[in-house]
Amino acid sequence: MKPVLVKIDVAVADTGRSVTALFEMADGGTTLNQALAWVFDFSRSGHRQRRDLRFWRPELEARGSGDAVKNHQFSQWELDAVIKRILPETRQNYRAWDVSDLFQIRHNTRIRLFGGGGKIGSRNSYSRQALAEFLRKRWLGGRRAKSPAGRCSHNIRPIHESNSKNQKPCKH
């Protein structure tokens, strides 16, 4: 399977932006770097302590094109529409190695993320429904929308760049 969710190194290559700029875009954007809508966190906790981001490649390619129309092509899409592009509805089960390829994860990471609850049939098969639910839970856009009052997602930075005790309220 051709991966449609890619790691930060591919995102840098596709967009020509720095890692720091892409983290800012994943966190809600800045004046210079407009937010990316379709970023998922595959980290152990699923929270921002140590992130393992996956970027939806069609959005990255549109951003990297330099075309203003393509740049905003995916910003108004619904989450379920993106999930249907990542996990087509015509396929209800995914083999373990397809999941690893599709999500750009190693065998051990796949077992850690999906072991148990998402498996069906055998230990080598995963249901589309379980994978789609995982993506819903790990979508950063959903977290930005649910962030507590007074704490804007613009203030959230990778763990090596911030100290949560020193974060100031966002002025957005």
pLDDT at 119: 55
pLDDT at 63: 84
d(CA 1, CA 131): 15
Q: Describe the crossing of helices 128-138 and 79-86 by its angle, rounded to 10 degrees.
A: 130
pLDDT of residue 166: 41
Residue 57 contacts residue 45 (beta carbons within 8 Å): no
pLDDT tens digits, residue range 3-45? 789 999 999 998 889 999 999 999 888 877 788 999 999 887 6
Pairing of strands 93-95, 53-56: unpaired
**pTM, full prediction:** 0.76
CA distance 147 to 157: 14
Q: Say what the pLDDT of residue 131 is.
A: 92
Q: Quote the pLDDT of residue 147.
A: 42
Residue stretches of the chain with pLDDT short of 70? 1, 45-49, 115-123, 142-172
**Which residues neighbour 18 within 8 Å (Cβ) at sequence distance 6 or greater?**
12
Query: Domain locations in the chain?
Result: 5-79+139-156
